[in-house]
Amino acid sequence: MAQRLHYPLLINILLWIAGGIQTLRLRLASRRPRLASESTLRDILKISKDTVYGKEHFFEKIIGAPTDEELFALYQHFVPANDFEALRPYVERHKNGEKNVLFPGSPYMYATTSGTTSQPKWIPMTRKYLKDVYGKMSHVWIWNFIKHRPMALAGHIFPIVGKECEGFAPDGTLYGSVSGVLVRDIPAIIKHRYTAPASVMSIEDYTARNYALMRLALQHWDVTLWATANPSTILELQRSVDENLDSMIEDIEKGTLSEKFDISPEIRTELIAYMRPRPERAAELRLLRDKGDGHILPKDYWPKLQILSTWKCGNTKIYMEKYTNFFNFEQTFYQELGYIATECRFGFALDDTIESVMFPHLHYYEFVAEEELDSPHKNFLQLDELQYGKRYCAYVTTYSGLFRYNMNDLIEVGGKFEKTPTIHMVSKVNGIVSLTGEKLYEPQFIDAVKQAEAEMGIKTTFFVGFADVNLSVYHFYLEFEDPETTQEVAETFTTLIDKKLCEINIEYAAKRDSFRLKPPIAHRLIQNAYARFKAACLAEGMRDGQFKFNQLMQDENRRDKFQVLVFGNMVSEVRSTVITRRAEWETRQQERLQRIEERRLARQQRRKQRKNHTKSIE
């Protein structure tokens, strides 16, 4: 097979034009961030001034402010900082068909994600936001790819996105994944290069979905762009290759899709249309498999990969080191995906750093310094007031009805793009846990584990910490690279983590010294515990692209999910299941025997009645 990429001249020219124009606009806005912020806020408020929310919060009066200072001050005075629960009543009115509530008209779609309550968030998306914000930012994003790697779109594209349609609101408006909708509506000139149709993400079974994704992608040697938000997804997809390589090769050779996976007939039919027998590719994969002692990696099966784009900051960093040997990063440009959430596309990276460039002409941003997070009277700062190296909580106002919306994210300021600060994600604000006032940060916990690994010379493949408020103790759940690691070693490792935390966090040390905080408890997880946990969450309806996992939290529901994955507990669970099923079987047997006896007695009674009736006649 001749493995030579052809320069995508037409696509690159079109993207250079579209992306170049939007990048120029970004640069101009970034040279005067305060002016861009003022202009954007005025425009958003002007558009929504006659809506229910706009009238209730005096938008018309706010935009009458003659200066930027007065505009920002009036906005903060009349519009409270919001979380989704404060906006939910307005969103519900939209969902039930009412127009002009948060913005003119109705939403084009809803993006759904998990919320702080049992109810999910329904984030409204207007057509204007998708077209004028997401669309223009996408032009910059893709243009940036071909700037760094001109051959990025020369081959096939492997995007991992959410399910485009998960259902419909009461008024008939679609809800699902924004990324899924954008992929659905992408121009045909790019869409035909995708390795799979959007319907592949509608496969309900997580294992089957991963198999289908990799079977379809693996049939192409020329995958040049791989984009997935969660770096953990890379590990899961590679695991699918490791476990099913022979089956995938056979499917590629015959142009089939294995029947051993649970895929609906409708989706299976659509996927089959993307397949044809490829015996040459199958032979190539077998050769690679034999050279690799039964295993192959992305750098082997996609030797021309130009771009890999995932999250690289925050707690996602712990996954990166697990696949550094998967890729040839001298050839493959590994780019941070950027600060992207369900609520909005806050910004994204334009170079090889983790810093996200923000778009002040498309969003209005506000920030609260980390040290003021618990203050009842927060000082809200403008984009141009951010200081290098400091951390803040981010708030955003969008063209989709989010006003002073608390992203609940802790960000850190980096260098500048033109004259506008860049930022990167550190952790969720709820990644800060405090049982007795210690304020333990997720990055501190991650750092302590890494130090303990280096000192003891052992490796974890996954770890997570949970705060137990009832017992004033932390539970550390640890999955070790060596499955033979004993509980005794796990406890020693946990003691060392505890020591490192005392060195990193003086408040943690003080609370441990005063015995207000008890020694952390070690729990040894079974192999692939994280994959099992993630599969369970996706089975419950969470989308892969939204699967943002904190390494440190206070969440009893999630802790319960890990508790059943602890060594010993799994055995107990199996034993308990066997006992339960045995008891259920015995109960059914007793009920069956009881019914037989009741029927026997009933027949006996009927015979006796017939006999008495006959005697009475005689």
Q: Return the pLDDT at 581.
A: 47
- Which of 292, 317, 334 is the endpoint of a domain? 334
> Is residue 358 one of the residues assigned to a domain?
no
H or E stretch including 366?
strand 364-369
Rounded CA gap, 355 and 347, in Å? 9
230 part of a folded domain = yes
Task: Give me the pLDDT at residue 618, please.
Answer: 55
Residue 371 lies in a domain: no
Q: Are residues 283 and 160 in the same domain?
A: yes
Same domain, 329 and 219: yes
> Do 315 and 440 sit in the same domain of this protein?
no
Residue ranges, the chain, pLDDT below 50: 1, 117-118, 570-582
Residue 234 within a domain: yes
- Does residue 513 lie in a domain region? yes
Q: Which of 334, 357, 389 is the last residue of a domain?
A: 334
Q: Does residue 572 belong to any structural domain of this protein?
A: no
Is the same domain home to 330 and 438? no
- Residue-wise pLDDT for 81-101, tens only, equals 999 999 999 999 999 999 999
Residues 576-608 as b/e (b if ≥16 CB within 10 A, e otherwise) read eeeeeeeeeeeeeeeeeeeeeeeeeeeeeeeee
- Global pTM reads 0.76
Residues 313 and 452 in one domain: no
322 and 207, same structural domain? yes
Q: Quickly list DSSP for 235-297.
A: HHHHHHHHHHHHHHHHHHHHT---TTS---HHHHHHHHTT----HHHHHHHHHHHHHTTT---
- For residues 305 and 454, membership in a common domain is answered with no
Please tell me whether residues 458 and 328 are part of one structural domain: no
Exposure pattern of 225-257 as b/e (b: 16+ CB <10 Å)?
A: bbbbbbbbbbbbbbebbeebbeebbebbbeeeb
In the prediction, which pLDDT does 585 show? 53
Q: What pLDDT is stored for residue 177 in this prediction?
A: 84
Domain presence at residue 71: no
Same domain, residue pair 196 and 320: yes
How many separate domains does the chain show? 2
Give the domain-ending residue among 316, 334, 352: 334
Phi and psi based region of residue 438 (left: phi greater than 0; alpha: psi -120 to 50; beta: remaining): alpha
Task: Provide the H-helix boundaries in 32-58.
Answer: 33-48, 52-56
Domain that holds residue 521: 434-567
State the pLDDT at residue 78. Answer: 98
Q: What is the 8-class DSSP label of residue 571?
A: H
Say whether both 442 and 314 belong to one domain: no
Q: Identify whether 279 is part of a domain.
A: yes
Q: Distance between alpha carbon 231 and the CA centroid of its chain, in Å?
A: 10
Based on the domain organization, do 308 and 439 belong to the same domain?
no
- Within 10 A of 461 (CB to CB), how many other CB atoms are there? 20
Coil, strand, or helix at residue 94? helix
Which residue from 114, 100, 215 is spatially nearest to 162, judged by alpha carbons? 114
